[in-house]
Amino acid sequence: MDGLDKALSEAAAAYAAKRPASKALQARAEAVMPGGNTRTVLYTQPFPIRAASAEGARITDLDGHRYLDLLGEYSAGIYGHSHPAIREAVADALAMGVNLGASHAREVEFAAAVTRRFDLDLVRFTNSGTEANMMALAAARCFTRRGKIMPMHGGYHGGTLYFSHGASPVNAPFDCVLGRYNGITETAALMAREADDLAAVILEPMLGGGGCIPADPEFLAMLRQETKERGIVLIFDEVMTSRLHPKGLAAHYGIEPDLKTLGKYIGGGMSFGAFGGKREIMLQFDPRRPDALPHAGTFNNNTLTMTAGLTGLTGVFTPEACVALNGRGDGLRRSLNDLFMRYQVRMKATGMGSMITLHPVTGDVTSPDDLTHADKRLRQLLFLDLLDDGIYIAERGFMALSLMVTDDDCRGVVAAVEKFIGRRREFLV
């Protein structure tokens, strides 16, 4: 066992010793769920924390440990926990009735707010980002009458569209050709070869699950030009990245795709997804048409999501609040990178605005290929050490700031990471 393995083993043992209640619940969970888990990303070694309650920007586990929540529900938790405006909206929806089995006014109000905010001609709601991406791809295939799609190596578009290390065995059976994120020449050549059969190109304008890697503006410009010339539908997956600019990251880059998908925080903390964009593509779902495409979903217009989403988008996460939150995130990322430079350690903070990922690497990170040699053990050690200091991030180093996170909180994060460097410097140089 080398020094890093030993340090990680000791940190895991200390973690377990301090959390007997979470450990006991893990054992109970394993009797009824595979690995005691029903959401893979939340599983961590030796066992995950088990939350008991949360409020504002803080979460408390079963063993009484309180953490600053920087995981931010993987970008969905932008309002923090139990935001008073969201709580009031939920109470209003409960009084109205949750599942009406009928169309209602609030879904129209919400659709108007979403289309206006994110520059969509028409929109349809789903219950998750995964569903939104599946429906957007189906719409593109039907519209173009072509079969293939082009995601990117390292991309993630939901539980059935996972391309972190090539295609996942649980993916939907789309015929895929994988482009290279930020690889202008290679991806353009691949598109040219496959153009006659290629229905859609789908990507995040900043990889979220792939490591918070922003797109090169020239790469996005190439995709827009090539897809337009070849009749290919360009889809921006903005399930996560829509929080990075008041009108979504497409607006930041000044590039308008044919379709956008949305999700996460836009539902006000409820289950939510949406896909929308150009009128001629979306009109395929108009049920008045004899050849209309079907789009089902019992809970697509449930009043909880429609009401909480409308309240959050129009009254809480306003354009001004969006700018302020992302400015705070930019400041945190700069402070962390200044820290890494000052100590000359093998760490890098990537991202934009309120989404950040910490990587145990040096040099520029412009594609998932640049992270190939990142040591997973260092990520795990950072995760455990930060938990010990009362800070909760994703084990992979991902952070998403909520509106409840303050400047003082950010200074505390920098101090905790500096403490980690001082304690683990031998593994970081």
DSSP string for residues in 188-242: HHHHHHHGGGEEEEEE-SEETTTTSEEPPHHHHHHHHHHHHHHTPEEEEE-TTGG
Split at pLDDT 50, 70, 90, the class of 166 is confident
- 69 beta partners: 392
d(CA 244, CA 355): 8
DSSP state of 98: S
Q: What is the mean pLDDT of residues 63-73?
A: 97
pLDDT of res. 168:
86
* DSSP codes of every residue in 254-320: T---SEEEEEGGGGTTSS-EEEEE-HHHHGGG-TTSTTPPP---TTTT-HHHHHHHHHIIIIIS-HH
Interval 115-122 mean pLDDT: 98
165 has pLDDT over 80: no
Region for residue 271 given its phi and psi (left: phi exceeds 0; alpha: psi -120 to 50; beta: otherwise): beta
Q: Do 3-78+318-427 and 84-316 have matching folds?
A: no
pLDDT at position 311: 98
SS3 144: helix
Q: What is the DSSP letter of 81?
A: B
- Euclidean distance between CA atoms 87 and 124, whole angstroms: 25
DSSP 376-415: HHHHHHHHHHHHHTTEE--TTSEEE--TT--HHHHHHHHH
Domains of the chain: which residue ranges? 3-78+318-427, 84-316
Distance, in Å, from the CA atom of 94 to the CA atom of 314, rounded to the nearest integer, reads 20
Q: Residue 167's pLDDT band (boundaries 50, 70, 90)?
A: confident
Tell me, what's the pLDDT at 320? 98
- Asked if residues 8 and 379 have their Cβ atoms less than 8 Å apart, the reply is no
Chain segment 248-274, per-residue pLDDT in tens:
999 999 999 999 999 999 999 999 999
Alpha carbon distance 123, 281 (integer Å): 11
Which residues are within 8 A (CB) of 369 and not within 5 positions of it... i.e. 6 or more apart?
Answer: 153, 154
- Cis peptide bond N-terminal to 360, omega within 30: no
Domain covering 84-316 in this structure, CATH number: 3.40.640.10
Coil/strand/helix, residue 360: coil
* Per-residue H/E/C for 8-71: HHHHHHHHHHCCHHHHHHHHHHHCCCHHHCCCHHHCCCCCCCCEEEEEECEEEECCCCEEEECC
Residues 189-233: tens digit of each pLDDT:
999 999 999 999 999 999 999 999 999 999 999 999 999 999 999
Give residue 189's pLDDT: 97
Q: What is the DSSP letter of 166?
A: B
Question: How many percent of the chain have pLDDT more than 90?
Answer: 98
Tens digits of per-residue pLDDT, 301-330? 999 999 999 999 999 999 999 999 999 999
Model confidence band, residue 1 (pLDDT cutoffs 50, 70, 90): low
Nearest CA to 102 among 363, 303, 368, 307? Answer: 303
CB 133 within 8 A of CB 348: no
User: What average pLDDT score do residues 65-84 get?
Assistant: 97
The highest-level CATH class for domain 3-78+318-427 is alpha beta
